[in-house]
Every structure is written in C-alpha cells, then in structure tokens.
Structure 1
C-alpha cells in the first residue's frame, strides 16, 4: 500500500504519494497521514504526471502517452515549478511535447511530492501554481559490517486499451559507504481505443529511460552522482498538429547533503541536453514537415538550514541557464516550406539567478509561523530569425521577421516572492493554517519570441491542444499572483483513523499571460471546423475554489479484514477581469474510493465523477464536454515477501466520454473530416502487473 505525505507548510497543503521511503528533500514541517487515498500500485501507468491523480485539485491535460501536463487548482505547465532529481527542466518544443515529468518513467520514481498554491520560497520560484518535486529511488546501502550486498527489482505490466506494455529493472551493489546502481524502464503502446471501441488515431508511443548512480556516504554526508539518457523514438499527439519523431536527452547531476554542528547543507549541480524532432511517422496521420529543436539546461542550487532557538533559518542561492534553438528545415519541392530553413527561435536564452531566505518559528505548543522572501533576476533574449522565403505564400512571415529583427529583444525582470504562513494546533484533533503569498513567473521563450504571422507558422506554436495558432509578444510582462488560502484539518484515531480536510483558496493574478484574438481559420482547410489565431497578451485574472479530502474507517481489523471509505472533491473557477473564463479549468469533480484489506490482499473500488464543463474559454473556442463517471476496480496480492501481483480494470463500464482538459481531436479531423470535436477519453482497459525483488 502506498502512503501519502501531506506537506502542511502551505495552506493549500496537498502532496503526492510516497512511492518509496527516502528522506524528504525539503525539511519543512510535515504531518504524516496514512489512508487518504491509498491504493494498490498502478504499475500500468506510463506517464509520471498521472501518479498524483488522486490528489484534490490536481489533474492532467492530455498530451502524448508519456507527456501529460500537470494542472493544479487551474494553473498548469510552466506555471508550476517542476524539479526532477534537483534539475529544473524546460520544454524544448513549441508544443511542449517534452515537459519535465516526461524525462522520468514511473518505474524509476522513488518519491513525488506536490506543494500547491502558497509554496515556501525554499520550495521554488518562477511559478505561481505550486511545486512538484520528483526523486529517483534513493541509493541502496548495506548495513555496517555486512560487506557488499546486491539488490535487484523487476517490474512488468500490460494494459488492454492500447496493447501497452511497461517493464523496468533496477540493480544495485553496495556496502555501507559506496553504492552503485543502474535502472532502465521501457514503455510502448499502440493507439488507444475510446469507450465506443474506436481507435483514437495517432496516439501510439515508445519510450526508453536509463540511468546510473554512484553514491558515497561518510561522516561528512552523502555525495550522489546520477547520469542518464532518454530516447523516445516516436510519440503521437492526437490533439496537436504535429507528432514527435524523436526525442533524445542526456543528463548528469551531482548532489551533496551533509549535517554539521551548525546545521544542514545541501548543494547540487546539473546539466541536461535535449535533441527533439517533430514531424509525422504513422499512416494514421501522414504529412511532411520536419521541425528540430535543441535545448540545454544547466544550473546549481545551494541551501543551508540553521537551527534557531525557536525554529529554523533557511537560506539559499540558485542559478538556472536555458538555451534554445528551434528551426524547421526546408522541404524540397515545396513552395510554402522553402527554399530556406525557417528559424523559429535563434539562440534563445533564459537565465535566472536566485537568492532566498525564510524563517520557521515555533512560538509555543499551539502556534507555528513561516516567513520567507525570494528574489529572482530573469534575463531573456533571442537572435535574428528568418522565414522559409519571401514569396507571396510567405509574405506574412517575411514581414513579421523583418519587424522582429528590428526590435531590441533582451528583457530583464526583477521578481520578488513573499510567503507568510501561520499554523494553529489547538489540540491533537485539529490543525488550522492561514497563508498569504505573492508569487511571480516571467514569460517563457515561446511566449515572448515566437514571431510567425502566417497561419501555418502560428499553428506550430501550441502547447494547449486546442487546435488554434499562437504568436508571441516581446513586451509581455511577468505574471504576479497574490494568493490567500486556508486549510482546516480535523482528524482522530491515530495512523489508521479518520480525517477531513477543507481547503478554500483565492488567487488574483496581475498580468496573467492569456490571449487576444487576431483572426480565424479552418484547421486542415476543413470548412466544418474553425480555429482562432491568437497573440499572447497580459490580462488580469482571478482563480478561486475549494478542495475537500476525507478518509473514514468503515470496518476495523477483523475476520473479514478492514474497509475504509476515502476520497476527495475539487471545484475551481478562473476568469479574466475583462470578462470570460480561463482555459483548461477543471469543472467540479470528485473521487470516491472504497478500500478493503485482508491479509495479503488489498483491493479498491473507485468512482471518478466529473461535472459537465460549460464554462469554457470562448476566445480559444474551447469545447463543451458532458459530465461522466468512471468506475475502476483493482487488487494487489503479496504472494511472497518479494513478489507482488496486481490486476485491475479502468473504465469498467466502457463509458464513452471526453476529458474536459483533453483538448480537441485534430488527428481525427484530418483523417475523417467533419466538425472539430473534443478528444475522446480512454475506453475500458484490463491491466496486469508484477513486481519482484531479490
């Protein structure tokens, strides 16, 4: 059974399942609670972003099979700070086909944590929606005096809805001071079927991840070196105009953690390079248009935690450097895509330098406070660009390139984040938190520097899955969000007792990066479909809502085992001050879970219910989706100490539905014509899995 760690250092206070049990990376005050949404391991998952799907207020905007975009309380993608083994990774793609969580397979995850909304300044900046931290499995060490030991873990799973298969292996050899490890994970699937038994075209994928670890442990602390490579030979995106035809990434990171007489010290440095290609690879969606992207992330972070008489002082310094080149080679014989290489982003740069400090103070047995400030200097720039050509078919892009090249493109932002939190614990059965924060995010490179004004060029910049086209604005301002939140937690009965958690929040975002409408077009020249041409633009916005989570024992331990009822519900609204709803806001939704444990068996029946989505972004022509309820059933059996078997079925009733955040079905429109409709969701899927350790 997985346990959940809820980080109460913020008022939003939702966290991710602890997949394994390494030490927590951030030493903020925490409360350990079991039984919030425990479930048998879902080994058939291939997308790491889905590991948090049982958290209230969390959802995933569908991309490819391993590239979902997380959304927290209505804010997603670049509005979240995502760290993978301490690395800050940036999507090196105009369609965000390689988001940070796509660089680690679920089988390689040791721990994943989510802190939403009012995040401590030590947990990350350059974001307004929260922080997701992912750690690979912690290095394995033998006990003192045991000598060298080995550990091997194997995992395999399959699912029927897309003939998907997952496999993972990890192997370690270690004594009490040195650990050497290797992990590999493989995932492959065909295009999935919807609830009507129809194939969703262009949704197949294949992904391979490998990494090696060397860790040294001594009296002065622990030093860990990780290096790895990812290769995605292909990945279909049915809600995008393009597919991924290759993604190869290499990385290395070095981390040190030490404990001294004066306090704790953590330091890390990392480097990651991505080579990314888009185009077409399957008969389910044909075409010719090569697109190539090269991205490099590099940076470091240092943090010191010093005990005070009544609390802890944390100070730190970070630096992150990102470089991007995005170009589209000419297509021989094409009048539109040639004769030159289209240069979309030339030597794009985005550098961030950071300092922060925060003080956690325990005033007495009932009150704790957390105050922090974070300063970030962000510089962005890009070089000169060029269109495919200067003829009549490229006239709009040619004029846009001349105007772009004539501009001063360097921009410098000075961003200040502030966080204040107070926690009141009147007795053992209740905790109340009040939090206020100012969080900022500077525009990404595509928001500022995508420049094409031809319809085809604009539709190639789109990480929203909405079928529209986008162009950037060099003069975009940073987003600044002021968030107020409250969390009430009532609990009793110990680790396996009951709890109810209630969390309302309100966020006002000045200069929220949304869109202005420039014009319309017909996707794929289908007269029955309509899209819009949009420019990124600043508009004030507000988001507010409430999250609810609970767990109640129904039957305590006995002859027939134990039964528990748990779940959560979430409601979010997002609007612009000048009118209209924000894009990709999840409607009212709830997860109801009934769990049973008996000896080596653990089983779960769950129902995920989602309301009709009729509050939509009319500027993006966001589709209305009907309400639905999906039933899931799964079980796990601990056959032996080191052998676990899992089985389950998702969407048990084979319900036909469309996920409110799934976007539109572009690959279906191209092949079948007609009107543009929401992307169909996954049909019924039977799943089997096995985990072995020796």
Structure 2
C-alpha cells in the first residue's frame, strides 16, 4: 500500500527534534505557564444539564490512545465496541448498534461500503485530527438527517483564527507502544485574518498483539489519513471553507474469515457560514459534501490462505459507496426564542464486484442499491424563566431505497420529534427531562446483508423501527463534590433483530432479520471528589438493559454493568493517574441473536483491569505521556466480541481475547 512520503517513519525523529528545538526557544522567550494536560480515562456529561457530552480528542486516552473513532468513544461513559481484532471495531451506545447511532464528521455522514461493516463509519475517523467531539444522548435533537435513536455523535474541526502577528499554528505527536504500535499525527495551519490553509495528516501501524496468556491474536493494521482545507474569512461574520482528503489502510481481523486489504477514502466538501445577518437572523450555514469509499476484503493477501467458512479458494470482494450530502440551516433569535431550521438531503449508491484472487479488478462494478432522502427540520428553544428552558423539535424525512438487483423500490416518510425541559436550581443543580420519538427505516446492512425471516418475502418485508424514549438527568456541584446521572427508558416497536441460523450450505450460519417489539432502560452515573489540592477521585458506572417483549427474552449484544474508578495526583508540571475498570458478568443473553456484526454465544464472565498513566510537561507546549494498560496481564474477552476465525485455529464457539499488558508513550508539541 503506497504511503505519502511525509508520513513515513522518519517523521518520528523529525517531530522529536522539533519538540525540543521549539521548547528550548520558548524557554528563553516565555516561561512555561500552561498546566500539563491529563490522560483521559472517562468523560462526564457537561452541557445541556448532563444531556450532552463534550470531549477533546487531542488529549491522550487510556487504554492506549485511540487509532479510530470507536476506540476513542469507548472512553466516554455509555459506549462500548464490538471488536474484530486490533482496529476498526464497531461502536455501541446503551446497547444499541449501527444506524441507531448517528456518526457525523463536520456535519456530514460517511457510511462505509462493506456489507458486514468491516469499514464501519468510525473506521475512517482519526480522532486526533478533530478539535472536539459532541455526543447528544437519546433522540433529543432533530438537526441531522435520520436522527439517531440512541445517540448523535459529531466529530468537528473549528475554523482557524490566525492573525498577522502570528500567521501560523500547529501541533504534532508521536506515540510508540507494545507490539509495534507507532502513530504520527501532524496538524498545521498558516494564514492571517482573512485566509488560511490547514493540513491534517496521520499514520498508524501496529503488529498483532498477545493476550494475557501469551497467545498471539491476529490484529495488525496500517492506515493513513490526509486532509487539506482552504479557508476564507473576509470578516469576523463570514466563513468559507473548501476541503478535500484521502486515506487508505489495511487490517487483519482475528474475528473474521477475511481481512480488509483496502480502505480507500476520497472526500470533498464546501462549507459556508454567515453570522449576524440582522437582529433576528443570527446565522445561515450551508454545506455540500462528497465521499467515495473503495473497500477490498480478501482471504489471501494478509494471511495464509486456509479453506474455511465455505470459501475453498482465495477470494476477494471489492465494494464501494458514493455519497453526496447537503444541508442548509438558519438560526433565528428574538426575545426569549431561538429557532434552528433547515433542510438536508443525501444520495448514496453502493456497488460491488468480486472474483478469484485479484480477478475482480478486471470486472465492472455493479450498482446494487440507490438511496435518496430529503428532510426538513425545526428545533425551537424558549427561555421560560431564568431557571427553566423548553427545547422542542420536529423533522420529517422522505426516503427512497432502490434494490437494483430485484428492480424493486421502497419509499418511506419518517417523522421524528422531541420535547425537553432544562432547569437550573441555584448554581449547584442542573436537570433535564425529555421525551423523544424516532422512526428509522431499515438500513443497508439490515436489508441487503441478511436473509429475511420468512421465505418469499418482498424487499419491504421489514417494518420501520419506531422508538419512543424518555430521558432525564442531573448535574450537581457543591464545593469539592460533584455528581451526575443520566437515565432512560424506551419502547421500541418493530425493533430490527438479526438471528443467525444454520440454514446455509454445509450448515453455515445465515443472518436473518425480522421485527420484534422491545423495551430498553438504563443509566450512566458518576461522582467525583477533590480529596486535597493535588488528589482527585471519581467513580462512574453504566448499565444497559433490554427485553425482547415479543419472544420474552433478553435483547442480545448488550454490554454488562461496568464501573470505572479513577484516582489522580496533579501538580503544575506533572500528574499521575490510576484507572481501575471493573466489568460484571453478563447473563442476559439470547443465543445466536444480535446484529450484522456479532451475536450472543454464551453468558460472559466478569473481569477487572488496572491501568496506570502519567504526564509530564517537558517545556511550554511539549508534553510527555506514558501508560501501562492491563498492568497485571489479565487474560480476558469482552462480552461484545466476535468469534475467532477458524482460519486462525479458533474453535467454532471461541472468542478471541483482548490485549495483555501493554506499554505506551506519547510526546506531543504545540506551536
């Protein structure tokens, strides 16, 4: 796989030299005053009274700093991931999966192309290249197409704010870790008050890791991303940005019978924003974004070919998806009212070709799906009093899905909406309570990657999924003590469930989708206490519960009760941290049921892992972070984990284990 020259491994040495050179210069000019950042171990609700979580993806996380979006999100309370190997896991939130979680990058959506979600949306995201992550829990926003019923996650980059006095800024980092892990990240911008150019580039490689028992788990990867943006800011109220990017990679999967030998992405976008139009119209924003994903999976280029799972010969499958997103929104304010309204649209086409070895390259791509949607939305806020605010919204989406293989189509009208009351009692307690409703059309994977539950059914056999969910929460702060909690309960009519049955050739399991009714509930909560000026402690917990009320059994693929305990010692120049993660056993399972990625095999065992980290401010703008994950080399497997591939010698019901003891170090520089 070709790599851009500026991303090759000698960059490690160059960045380290630059770190010390810039640091030495800054010591003479301006003494260090910035406190050293901490390693992120858990995120708390910190906006909209606990409903919205903000995270800084440029901060290192523990376990080891994230290689992709799913790995980073797992550091936020409520998220888990279904792992395939070392990279490109598929994220879950509150036990919900797939298109129930809306994943956006700078307001647009990149869905990936693999029919088994080998290249899911978060696999194309390099977290450190973004400025912030916003998580909106539950169906409590309607500003984005096909609102996520479980959560809406937004990875964002901020417009540059450069001046003639300082016409540049940048940051870079290098991380090394056990099992050949090596990451480079560069972000730099040059310009002035009216224009800028920004480059984000990164590369990550790793070898296969060993679990706590010393067994090698096939899991190596190599990936790179490069994005370039040109911005124009003729005045403080106008922003125009044209951006484009490319990426590629490869990954070996212990939990799949094929590996990903190509993850090519091309993207292009134009964003325009105008503020302070008049006394009422505060902002108009518009964007159009194009992406093209070209993904190859095969069973021979990254592993020794072994005839397994009905594949008697070396095979390759090449899938692609072209996506065009557009959105226009207007923010208006008058008196105590604020309204965000707009329209959006998406068109994406999916194509595929396959063959023995690399013969697929000589075959034409065949388009098998065409998806179109158009939506309109309005989200209104009203300040009832100094203490109370009412927020409500509604949207309507019109979708059409064409199954080009069967020459059939499906048209749907999808309503969604919510209402929420936010309150602030004195300065110590903030609360929210809301009710939301979302209709979700079956996504590409549920329609095209599964067999239907009944034979002879039509393209529109699966009903739309309809979720009605209650959300509530609070934040409390009094002196050295803080606490927060979010709770939810939902009724899901026509929940789309995937079951795996041995009906294929030679008893191979086939995924079949059908509708059931379901009930879900759960909570996230945390408390923290400043023990002394230097010592901080916090505890957080998450619990998700789901019931298939049609069949009177548990909803599958829900992570068990989990708790995290953090203890941190903080000084001006350095800090030390301890993370103890405790996960309970999961006995609420449903055999061979789940989603398009995985299914329940058996009840899982509980486990606990201890991790240590520290950060030291070497000079102003230069920080060194180190960590040890799984200090006691625990041998364990997550409940949400795919079965090991028989091509690597795993038994039919054996899951692969997580990484054992893992050392890492990261040096970062800002200038």
* Pairwise TM-score range, normalised by the shorter structure: 0.7 to 0.9
Q: Residues 39 and 200 (structure 1 numbering): CA distance in 2 closer, same or farther, change over 3 Å?
A: closer
Pair 82,255 (structure 1): closer, same or farther in 2 beyond 3 Å: same
Q: Which segment is superposed worse, 643-652 or 57-66?
A: 57-66
CA distance in 1, matches of 2:159, 2:142: 28
CA contact 2:145–2:345 (8 Å) conserved in 1:
no
Query: Judging changes above 3 Å, is the alpha-carbon distance between structure 1 residues 517 and 111 closer, same or farther for their aligned structure 2 residues?
Result: closer
1:551: Cα distance to partner?
Answer: 1.6
Aligned partners of 1:450 and 1:515: how far apart in 2? 10
Deviation sequence 1:395-445 (CA, Å, 0-9, x none): xxxxxxxxxx3xx62001101101000112222111221110001211112
Q: How far, CA to CA, are the matches of 1:209 and 1:421 in structure 2?
A: 39
* 1:224 lines up with 2:241 in the alignment: yes
SS at match of 1:88: coil
Matching residue of 1:172 = 189
Residue 297 of structure 2 corresponds to which residue in structure 1? Answer: 278
Aligned partners of 2:481 and 2:527 also within 8 Å: yes
Q: Which residue of structure 2 lines up, in the alignment, with residue 209 of structure 1? A: 225
* 2:514 aligned to which of 519, 534, 537: 537
TM-score relative to the length of structure 1: 0.83
Alignment CA distance shift 1:675-1:122 (3 Å): closer
Could you tell me how far 1:516 is from its partner in structure 2?
4.9
Contact 2:254 2:648 in 1 (8 A): no
Structure-2 separation of matches of 1:590 and 1:624: 19
The count of corresponding residues between Structure 1 and Structure 2 is: 610
**Structure 2 residue 217 is matched with structure 1 residue 200:** yes
Matched, 1:441 2:440: yes
2:488 counterpart residue number? 505
2:16 matched residue in structure 1: none
**Which range moved further: 38-47 or 211-220?**
38-47
Do the aligned partners of residues 610 and 70 (structure 1) sit closer, same or farther apart at CA in structure 2, a change above 3 Å counting?
same
Equivalent residues in 2 for 1:524-603, closer than 5 Å? 532-555=509-532, 557=533, 562-577=534-549, 578-603=551-576
Contact 1:573 1:585 in 2 (8 A): yes
Is the 1:14–1:55 Cα contact (8 Å) retained in structure 2? no
**Counterpart position of 1:382:** 403
**Distance across 2 between alignment mates of 1:515 and 1:170:** 42
> For 1:153 and 1:83, how far apart are their aligned partners in 2?
24
Instruction: Tell me if structure 2 keeps the 8 A contact 1:46–1:65.
Output: no
Which residue, out of 343, 348, 352, partners 2:369? 348
Structure 1 residue 223, shift from structure 2 partner:
0.9
1:424 maps to 2:409? no
CA contact (8 A) 1:544 1:573 kept: yes
- TM superposition shift of 1:154: 1.9
Residue 443 of structure 1 aligns to a residue in which SS? coil
* 1:28 matched residue in structure 2: none
State the partner residue of 2:381: 360
* Greater shift in the superposed pair: 88-97 or 52-61: 52-61
Instruction: Write out aligned runs for 1:450-465 (5 A).
Output: 450=449
2:19 alignment counterpart: none
Partner Cα distance (1:687, 1:451) in 2: 40
Taking a change above 3 Å as real, the CA distance of residues 270 and 5 of structure 1, as seen in their structure-2 partners, is farther
Give the match for residue 33 of structure 2: none
Q: CA deviation at 1:222?
A: 0.9
Distance apart, 1:487 and its partner CA = 0.7
The whole-number CA distance in structure 2 between the counterparts of 1:69 and 1:278 is 17
Is 1:651–1:684's contact at 8 Å kept on the other side of the alignment? yes
What is the rounded CA distance, in whole Å, between the counterparts of 2:502 and 2:669 in structure 1? 56
Bigger mean CA offset, 293-302 vs 612-621: 612-621
Change (3 A) 1:518 1:59: closer
Correspondence for 1:182: 199
Q: Which of 234, 255, 269 is the matching residue for 1:239?
A: 255
- Residue 82 of structure 1 deviates from its aligned partner by 0.7
Please state how far the C-alpha of 1:348 moved relative to its aligned partner. 0.6
Q: 1:396 maps to what in 2?
A: none
Question: Deviation string for 1:111-165 (max 9, x for gaps)?
Answer: 11111113211255343111000013x343323x52x6233322100111x3211
Shift in CA distance, 622/380, structure 1 to aligned 2, threshold 3 Å: same
User: How far did 1:517 drift?
Assistant: 5.6
Q: Which residue of 2 aligns with 1:477?
A: 463
Deviation at 1:326, TM superposition (A): 2.2
**C-alpha separation between the residues in 2 aligned to 1:521 and 1:445?**
21
Q: CA deviation at 1:565?
A: 0.7
SS in structure 1 of the partner of residue 255 of structure 2: coil
- Structure 1 residues 247 and 119: alpha-carbon distance in aligned structure 2, compared to 1, 3 A threshold: same
Counterparts of 1:315-334 in structure 2, within 5 Å, are 315-330=341-356
CA contact (8 A) 1:185 1:208 kept: yes
Residue number in structure 1 paired with 2:24: none
Is the 2:451–2:511 contact (alpha carbons within 8 Å) kept by the matching residues of 1? Answer: no
d(CA) in 2 for partners of 1:618, 1:548: 30
Shift of 1:6: 3.6
Structure 1 match to 2:160 = 140
Correspondence 1:96-107 to 2 at 5 A: 96-107=117-128
- Aligned pair partner of 1:613 in 586, 589, 602: 586
- Kindly state the Cα deviation for residue 79 of structure 1 after the two structures are TM-superposed: 1.2
Residues 64 and 627 of structure 2 are in contact (CA less than 8 Å); yes or no, is this contact kept in structure 1? no
**SS at 1:50 equivalent:** helix
CA-based RMSD: 2.7
The answer to whether the 8 A contact 1:48-1:66 is kept is no
Residues 243-294 of structure 1 show CA distances to partners (whole Å, capped at 9, x for unaligned) of: 1111211001111222122211111110001111110223356461110101
**C-alpha distance in 2, partners of 1:377/1:228?**
30
Structure 1 residues 292 and 423: CA distance shift in structure 2, 3 A: same
* Structure 1 unaligned spans of 5+: 21-37, 385-404, 459-470
The superposition leaves residues 602-634 of structure 1 with CA deviations (integer Å, 9 ceiling, x where unpaired) of: 221011110012211213352322100010100
Secondary structure of the structure 1 residue equivalent to 2:72: helix
State whether residues 614 and 627 of structure 2, in contact with CA within 8 Å, keep that contact through their aligned partners in structure 1.
yes
Deviations 1:561-606 (A, max 9, x none): x111113101111121122222220111011101111121022101
Residue segments in structure 2 that go unaligned for 5+ positions in a row: 1-36, 307-312, 594-599
In structure 2, the CA distance between the partners of 1:166 and 1:249, relative to structure 1 (3 Å rule), is same
Which of 649, 662, 666 is the equivalent residue of 1:685? 662
1:49 aligned counterpart, secondary structure: helix
The Cα shift of 1:342 comes to 12
Contact 2:61–2:75, Cα closer than 8 Å, also in 1? no
Q: Secondary structure at the match of 1:51?
A: helix
**Partner residue of 1:13?**
51
For the residue of structure 1 that corresponds to 2:143, the secondary structure is: helix
The 1:327/1:676 distance shift into structure 2, 3 A limit, reads: same
Change (3 A) 1:49 1:331: closer
Q: Distance in 2 between matches of 1:39 and 1:151?
A: 20
- Residue 94 of structure 2 is aligned to residue 73 of structure 1: yes
Distance 1:39 1:190 in 2: 21
1:20-78 per-residue CA deviation (whole Å, 9 max, x = no partner) reads 6xxxxxxxxxxxxxxxxx97787742122222323222112213544121211111222
TM, length-normalised to structure 2: 0.86
Aligned to 2:272: 256
| Within-5 A mapping of 1:2-41 | 6=45, 8-9=47-48, 13-19=51-57
Deviation at 1:14, TM superposition (A): 4.5
